[in-house]
Amino acid sequence: MTIIRSIASEGAYDTLFIQGKNRNIDLGLRVHLEADQQLHIQQLVIENTFLPLVKSGDGLLSIGRLQIKDFGGDGINLWGNGLSIHQLIVRNSTPTRPYHTLRVTALTETQILAALQASKQQVYDWRLLQWLETQENGQTVFYSPGYHSDIALQAYRPKPKTVTSRYFLPTDQTSEPSSEFMPLHLPVEQLETLALNFAPPPLDLVTGSQARSLTMISPINRLLDQVAETPYSLELDTKNRIRAIDLHVPLANPQLKAPIPNAPEDLAGIAEVTIRELDIQTNDANSQLFMLSEQQRYRNFKIGTDKIVINCRYPWWFVANTLEDSVIGNANKVQINQGRSSLAKVRIGDGQDNSKYCIKPSSCSTGEVSLVGLGKTGHVVPTTVRIL
């Protein structure tokens, strides 16, 4: 991934304009602030990137007006505490990667467009897709991993490069495998082994013709479908071929029902996030907006407290695995899908109640959260969340 601009120090800027060159690999602005540092940008405009803004560290980044447009992935990746935005404007977020994994046997325009059409997917430019080359039954095949875009905010604290192998143990295995740790840096050469161990066909859940159709989905395909649901980045060669996948957090093991004990990153989580005014427009049905998807603690979020103008097709405009001490809404002006028949609501899980609305099993809890002025019905939240 190409970083257009980096800032790793305190300071203040009046206006920054950042424009990328490749909508499928460029990162617009990378900011890292230690806990005692602060950076203020009065007006920030980022265009034509894959990831417009990534902020890490626990120092405070404050932005008066942030406009992100013409991008292909997430809007903001937040990897630490401390983000304050007065006005967030999101426009023209056209996915540059498929939502579901794409498979072809030759990298030709005809095959790629046919695969997109067959899977009812669209991307900004098929020529920008990245491909993983592998062998299946003696035949060369190519996969382009899916990517789930969160066009407003995706927040999580990345894990170290290795995590305990318990994330990957199947349910019928009671002892640890010989290797205690599983790397989150996955070279192409390791993917097939991981796919066979981690993503076996779920044939015990289905029978008949449905089971037979599942056997046609390769282990690599099933693994990449799991990768698509996990924050990740790609290591590429000069021909846009995938050499490795870097997972930022562990894959969600579908066979693992109970939460893994909290790691230091989970306990620290993400906190102190304020975005007062929202103006977000998208027509892509798979584009999610705010996503707090990990088993980490999410605390002190204040989202849309002054103004909310949203048009989206995804049914949940704000999603959190768990959430604490937060306010969503309370704006004087609220327009969500105005003029549309489809609704967009709030979804929050709770690890303590084994909520089915948790994206990942979590030992964190949800409490002291208020939804204000967003309508009284349609939200899916624990009883600890007040709907006002």
Contact 155, 298 (CB under 8 A): yes
Cβ(235)–Cβ(245) below 8 Å: yes
Residue 259: per-residue pLDDT: 59
The tokens 């382009």 sit on which residue?
Answer: 144
pLDDT value at position 162?
57
261 burial via Cβ count (<10 Å: 0-12, 13-18, 19+): exposed
Supply φ then ψ for residue 260, to 5 degrees. -70, 145
Blockwise average pLDDT, block size 10, the chain, 388 residues: 93 97 95 97 98 97 98 97 98 95 96 96 95 92 96 93 49 41 76 75 44 61 90 91 91 61 84 98 95 95 98 97 97 92 94 87 92 96 95
Amino acid 200: pLDDT: 56
Whether residue 85 contacts residue 276, with contact meaning beta carbons closer than 8 Å, is answered with yes
Cα gap 286→297, rounded to integer Å: 25
Give the DSSP letter of residue 285.
T
The predicted pLDDT at position 305 comes to 97
15, 116 contact by CB (below 8 A): no
Residue 197 pLDDT: 74
Residue 117 has φ and ψ, to the nearest 5°, of -65, -40
Tell me the pLDDT tens digit for each residue of 319-348.
999 999 999 999 999 999 998 888 999 999
**pLDDT score recorded for residue 261:** 65
Half-sphere exposure of 18 (CA within 13 A, CB side): 29
